[in-house]
Amino acid sequence: MKILFFFVALSVPLLGGLAVGQDQGAQPAQEPLTGPMIPEQDIYIVTREKDTNAAVLGGTVIPYKMVNLTAQIPGEVEYIAGEEGDAFSAGTRLVSLDIASMLAKRQSALAGLNSARAGLANAGVQYQREVLTPNSQSNSMLGGMPGMVSAFSDPMRSMMGQGSPGFERHSSLYGQGVQIQAARDAVAQAEAGIRELDANIANAASIAPFDGVIVKKMVEKGDIVQPGMPLVVFADTSKMEIQLEVPTRLIQAMSEGAVLDARLDRGAAPVQVTVSRIFPMANTGGHTTTVKVSLPDDSGARAGMYAEVLVPDPSHDQFSPLTIPASAITWRGSLPSVFLVSPDRTMLKMRALRLGAVIGDQVAVLSGLEEGDAILRAPDGSVRSGSYNPGL
């Protein structure tokens, strides 16, 4: 009986422990805890810009009017109106050369003109004297006896074939006429010389052809210049244009007056431009056509800036570029990257990209993403790959 009681007493705790173990194993396993989810408004779904059928062409901002003023005559620079950026109205003298030597030559030419005019007047008087008083010098001697003798001798010489008084008279008048013509030519030559000097004196000054500013100055006061040397570049910067070199396949889709979108290198905001001029001939070297588009007056563009213009591409196919907001791009080192969002919206993964053209607030993606990928719309500097934790 004692042995049986001990066995029963020992088996009770063992069975109790076994029952407890079976109860603990029967409990269901707990599900893993789920982290915070990324808000939908912070996520951007990568899409393909199917409506984009434009090519991005780079160009340069240039003034609507610009002239290169060069030296027309040799000389020393005597006067410069101002420096780069100074504005002047049309007709203002911008650069002038020393004209002291030309003024001296003009005085000499004017004296020659006066002498030529006096010679012309004298030739006219001599012609009139020959008409009114033939052989006046010989008749003035011996009281006019030579003239009286010639009245009888001339007919006799003509009858005997010894002379022709009529032709001699014509010859004398013709000679006086030649003197008049020579005097007239001398006057015309002197006047032409003065006009040439006056033109050179006028060319010594470079005048502003329109209202504008000096954008570049190539000489200083005291420099010696030769004809053809540049002096200043003068431009009307109140209205700006973009000059493009458009490939032949794109020029067919453009027309004067068409409105296009453009972006200046000073910012990402697009501006609307108007095609103002399409050159009639393509460049033989690059097989492109020069096109100018007008910028709006309030664009803030400056000459020499880089600009991009969206030009319609009629040969565009279905392989349109992927585009993402510029705010989604973060730069870690020298590589542009975005943060991919996991399907359950709890994880982030950094992905490096290869970018294309920037159009407004959108950036074309050449590689690194697929259509439908979810990315963080505007990550800040604290975002890292891994679990999303908005508290950090």
- Structure confidence by residue, pLDDT tens digits, 56-104: 788 889 998 899 999 998 999 999 999 998 999 999 999 999 988 889 9
CA dihedral (369, 371, 372, 376) positive or negative: positive
22-65 pLDDT per residue, tens? 444 444 444 444 567 888 888 999 887 655 566 778 888 999 88
Q: Helix or strand or coil: residue 223?
A: coil
Mean pLDDT of 338-363: 83
Class of the domain covering 40-51+320-387: mainly beta
Relative to beta strand 205-207, strand 93-97 is antiparallel
Both tokens assigned to 269: 């905001």
Q: For domain 54-62+238-312, give the CATH number.
A: 2.40.30.170
For the chain, give every domain's residue range: 40-51+320-387, 54-62+238-312, 101-203
pTM exceeding 0.85: no
Contacts of 79 (CB under 8 A, 6+ apart): 93, 95, 96, 221
